[in-house]
């Protein structure tokens, strides 16, 4: 498919008042020694840059969510509702987000290149850089690398998804396994986090020293790529063992689960919030079953309210905890869905014009960027590629894509598509 448009179209320190407030809480509490560290750690983490990346795999329809066209030829059966923003309407399937649009933003005029899932999923999450013969990192790996160690003692990039988990080193591309994704299948922690019965700390330390010695001997005359991946998984495992309770779904409270919708996606979003609270730099949540070539409207009648409730709940929680101003929240898919309704009452793939949601730290709240035609068939005016979005996210995180490069074994590479630039109307 021809791609007609071009991409050209003081960290906050703790204040004296906040420090005294924390000291007051500690002094007035029982178990002072047990409370002091978490309170100070939480204060510090609230000032680090973080990302919540919500990936709606298969492509949620913009017409049943962010950009409804009721009463038109392709509008479908759902009405639109007024939001907190004058003149801005969302699908009636998103009443909670309609009430929170003064804290969020939408880009309604995305236009990307690929109309097939197998072609689109990776390029969208890598920022669709120019083909240089090297695998670019996914956004989570890129952010982990560019922001560096933020002192949480946890893996910087964690992915929560239905199905199987594991360590997805491939996400890191040429950055190396250190920046891969620790993936929690069904939101569950990796198996065997607890040491076997009878293995004392001394025995565990001796085992680790032996393993490291054998590993170094193995490396003397061999490539380090796979061995580094192997070694990194051991380091992650040790980190996880020290934070077992954080990854236990049984610790999610019923009241919170209900607020997030009581669904699988809601549970995963609640777990994502807890990981962000603990200091994880980049948390990705994947939701499947959006490829609605058939029965599009019933599928969205079920799925969109789940997104609406869980996304609204996490925005409220991040705001209440003072974290939203430092956390970028992104909601997107690999493309949109066709205005035309096919013979199976479905919508097909449509990269020509689609929408994404974004908000939080560094993002201007309460704005809608771009517009589509009256029937939602094509963009009306300026269009934006995924490269623009990567530039925008990096800028919101305090990273200047024009002055920051990757070093791929001596080869300098841009961190975002060099023919693109940030969507200025989105930046606070």
**pLDDT tens, position by position, 69-103:** 999 999 999 999 999 999 999 999 999 999 999 99
Alpha helices in 220-263 (DSSP H): 225-241, 254-259
Domain assignment of residue 321, yes or no: yes
- What phi and psi, each to the nearest 5 degrees, are found at residue 208? -65, -40
Q: Give the residue from 276, 319, 395, 281 showing the smallest Cα distance to 49.
A: 281
Longest dimension (CA), the chain: 71
**What's the full length of the chain, in residues?**
428
CB of 38 closer than 8 Å to CB of 152: no
How far is CA 374 from each of CA 261, 262, 368, 386, rounded to the nearest angstrom?
33, 36, 16, 24
Domain assignment of residue 29, yes or no: no
Give exposure, 248-265, as e/b (b: 16+ Cβ within 10 Å). eeeebeeeebebbbebeb
Going by pLDDT thresholds of 50, 70 and 90, the confidence category of residue 207 is confident
pLDDT at 213 over 60: yes
CB of 323 closer than 8 Å to CB of 50: yes
Model pTM above 0.75: yes
> Judging by DSSP bridges, how do beta strands 327-332 and 50-56 pair with one another?
parallel
Residue showing tokens 């209440």: 320
Domain assignment of residue 329, yes or no: yes
Token representation of residue 292: 């609605």
Domain count, the chain: 1
Domain assignment of residue 422, yes or no: yes
Going by pLDDT thresholds of 50, 70 and 90, the confidence category of residue 232 is low
Residue showing tokens 């049943």: 64
pLDDT at 398 over 80: yes
Q: ∠ CA 372-396-353 to the nearest 5 degrees?
A: 15
Q: For residues 55 and 69, what is the distance between their CA atoms, to the nearest angstrom?
A: 24
| Per-residue pLDDT tens digits for 117-169 | 999 999 999 999 998 999 999 999 999 999 998 888 899 999 999 999 989 99
Q: For residues 223 and 125, what is the distance between their CA atoms, to the nearest angstrom?
A: 28
Where are the strands (E) in 230-290, listed by range? 282-287
Token representation of residue 400: 């200047």
DSSP state of 58: T
DSSP state of 136: P
Give exposure, 276-314, as e/b (b: 16+ Cβ within 10 Å). bbbbbbbbbbbbeebbbbeebbebbeebbbbbbbbbbbb
Going by pLDDT thresholds of 50, 70 and 90, the confidence category of residue 392 is very high
Q: For residues 155 and 12, what is the distance between their CA atoms, to the nearest angstrom?
A: 23
CATH of the domain at 388: 3.40.720
Residue showing tokens 């996606």: 265
Q: For residues 50 and 202, what is the distance between their CA atoms, to the nearest angstrom?
A: 36
Domain assignment of residue 242, yes or no: no
Residue showing tokens 């699908």: 91
Q: Within its chain, how far is the Cα of 220 from the centroid?
A: 38
CB of 59 closer than 8 Å to CB of 299: no
Domain assignment of residue 229, yes or no: no
CB of 151 closer than 8 Å to CB of 44: yes
| Per-residue pLDDT tens digits for 335-363 | 999 999 999 999 999 999 999 999 999 99
Give the residue numbers spanning the domain of 152: 51-189+248-291+307-426
pLDDT at 16 over 60: no
Q: For residues 240 and 224, what is the distance between their CA atoms, to the nearest angstrom?
A: 24
Domain assignment of residue 420, yes or no: yes
**Arithmetic mean of pLDDT, 40-68:** 84
Token representation of residue 69: 């066209």
Q: For residues 172 and 139, what is the distance between their CA atoms, to the nearest angstrom?
A: 9
Q: For residues 296 and 167, what is the distance between their CA atoms, to the nearest angstrom?
A: 33
Report the pLDDT value the prediction gives residue 234, as an integer from 0 to 100: 66
Domain assignment of residue 237, yes or no: no
pLDDT at 23 over 50: no
């Amino acid at each position: 498919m021809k791609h007609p448009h071009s991409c050209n179209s003081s960290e906050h320190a703790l204040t004296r008042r906040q420090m005294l407030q924390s000291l007051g809480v500690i002094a007035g509490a029982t178990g002072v020694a047990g409370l002091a560290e978490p309170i100070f750690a939480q204060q510090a983490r609230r000032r680090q840059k973080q990302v919540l990346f919500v990936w709606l795999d298969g492509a949620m329809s913009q017409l049943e969510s962010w950009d409804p066209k009721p009463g038109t030829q392709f509008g479908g059966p759902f009405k639109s509702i007024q939001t907190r923003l004058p003149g801005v309407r969302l699908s009636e399937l998103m009443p909670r987000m309609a009430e929170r649009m003064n804290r969020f933003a939408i880009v309604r005029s995305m236009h990307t290149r690929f109309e097939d899932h197998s072609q689109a999923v990776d390029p969208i999450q890598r920022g669709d850089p120019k083909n240089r013969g090297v695998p670019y990192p996914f956004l989570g790996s890129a952010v982990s690398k560019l922001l560096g160690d933020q002192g949480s003692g946890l893996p910087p990039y964690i992915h929560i998804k239905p199905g199987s988990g594991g360590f997805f080193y491939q996400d890191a591309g040429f950055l190396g396994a250190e920046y891969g994704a620790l993936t929690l299948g069904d939101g569950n922690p990796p198996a065997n986090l607890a040491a076997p019965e009878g293995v004392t700390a001394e025995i565990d330390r001796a085992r680790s020293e032996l393993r490291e010695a054998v590993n170094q001997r193995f490396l003397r005359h061999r490539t380090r790529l796979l061995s580094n991946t192997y070694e990194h998984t051991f380091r992650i495992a040790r980190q996880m063992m020290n934070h077992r309770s954080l990854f236990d779904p049984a610790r999610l409270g019923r009241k919170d689960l209900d607020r997030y919708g009581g669904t699988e996606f809601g549970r995963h979003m609640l777990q994502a919030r807890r990981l962000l609270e603990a200091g994880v730099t980049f948390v990705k949540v994947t939701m499947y079953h959006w490829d609605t070539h058939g029965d599009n409207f019933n599928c969205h009648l079920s799925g969109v309210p789940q997104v609406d409730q869980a996304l609204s709940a996490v925005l409220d929680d991040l705001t209440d905890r003072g974290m939203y101003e430092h956390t970028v929240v992104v909601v997107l898919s690999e493309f949109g869905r066709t205005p035309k309704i096919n013979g199976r009452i479905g919508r097909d793939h449509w990269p020509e014009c689609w929408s994404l949601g974004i908000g939080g730290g560094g993002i201007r709240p309460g704005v809608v960027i771009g517009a589509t035609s009256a029937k939602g068939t094509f963009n009306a005016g300026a269009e934006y590629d995924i490269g623009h979005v990567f530039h925008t996210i990096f800028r919101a995180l305090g990273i200047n894509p024009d002055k920051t490069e990757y070093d791929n074994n001596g080869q300098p590479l841009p961190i975002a598509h060099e023919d693109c630039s940030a969507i200025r109307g989105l930046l606070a």
